[in-house]
Structure 1
Amino acid sequence: MSLLNELKEAQKDAMRSKDKLSLGTIRMALAAVKQREVDERIELNDTDILQILTKMVKQRQESIAMFVTGNREDLAQIERQEIEVVQRFLPAQLGADEVNAIVDAAIVSTSASSIKDMGKVMGVVKPQLQGRADMGAVSSIIKSKLN
């Protein structure tokens, strides 16, 4: 089943069970997908939808940090719950060892030897890790290995 259909089915399930938090979060995700489809006049595939969901999680993590520093734990808790809902649709996160193995393989396959080759390595790694690892952390790992 495609990710879009999975989201729509989850929306129906949330409506039936009257789960307002899940329903609201899934509606936000579907709205973001629809907005991008309308803006770019294309039909999104699962990879594109994964990018949107990953971005939603990242935005909520940033909001949590701001809410915690602003002493608004109640709002931070809502954001955490929304992250849990979105993560149901993301693939399982990879461990550090698995990420390092993929990065090492990409460095070997691209014959990367310096930080100038980082773009080549990211080009190989990104499709494999999108939605399965924090790309900011992956970028740091690549930088440390190429230095």
Structure 2
Amino acid sequence: MSLLETLNDDIKVAMKSKDKEALAILRMIKTSIQNEQINKGEDLSPDEELTLVSREMKQRKESLSEFEKAGRSDLVEQASFGISIVARYLPEQLSDEELKSIITEAIASVDATSMKDFGKVMGVVMPKTKGKADGQKINALVKELIS
């Protein structure tokens, strides 16, 4: 079952249960995927769908951070709910230990010895962790492990 089919089924469930907040978020995700399909002119691969869902998650996390800084507890609650909905469509997130293992392997494979090799390491790590870990977290761990 493709992501769009799953979203359509979940939208129907949200409509039947009159869950307006979840319905709005699901529709935004669906619209994002459909817009990308229109721009591309063909169906998206599962990897491309994952990229779009990851982008939605990143936007919501950034919004949550901004709302917390501004002290807007009402919007923090909404953003947190949105994150929980979007998380359903992402693969299970990697633990810190799993991430460190992947990063350590990448460092060894490119013979990284200093921060000059940061880009090479990230180039190896990011495809392996796509959608399974936050980019900022990966960035921080790579910097920590290289130095």
Same fold flag (TM > 0.5): yes
Letter in 2 for 1:135: G
Give the Å deviation of 1:32. 0.9
Match of 1:84 in 2: 84
TM-score by length of 2: 0.88
1:135 & 1:28 partners in 2: Cα distance? 22
1:19 deviation in Å? 1.6
* Structure 2 counterpart SS, 1:136: helix
What is the one-letter code of the residue matched to 1:53?
V
Measured after TM superposition, the shift of residue 6 of structure 1 is 1.9
Query: What is the match of residue 14 of structure 1?
Result: 14
- Deviation for aligned residue 1:144: 2.3
Code of the residue aligned with 1:60 in structure 2: it is: R
Show the 5 A alignment for 1:1-147.
1-147=1-147
Instruction: Report the CA distance between 1:117 and its aligned residue.
Output: 2.5
Q: By how many angstroms is 1:82 displaced? A: 0.8
- Change in Cα spacing, 1:117 to 1:69, as seen in structure 2 (3 Å) is closer
List runs of 5+ in structure 2 lacking aligned partners.
none
User: 1:63-85: per-residue Cα shift (whole Å, max 9, x none)?
Assistant: 22222333321121111111111
Deviation string 1:34-83 (CA, Å, 9 cap, x unpaired) is: 12222233421222222222221221122222223333211211111111
Deviations 1:114-133 (A, max 9, x none): 32332222222112211111
Residue type of the alignment partner of 1:138: I
For these two proteins, the number of residue pairs brought into alignment is 147
Give distance in 2, aligned partners of 1:141 and 1:12. 40
Aligned-residue RMSD, C-alpha? 1.7
Question: What fraction of aligned residue pairs are identical, expressed as a percent?
Answer: 37
Give the Å deviation of 1:103.
Answer: 0.7
Give the AA of the match of 1:99.
Answer: L
Query: Structure 1: any 5+ residue segments left out of the alignment?
Result: none
Moved over 6 A (4+): none
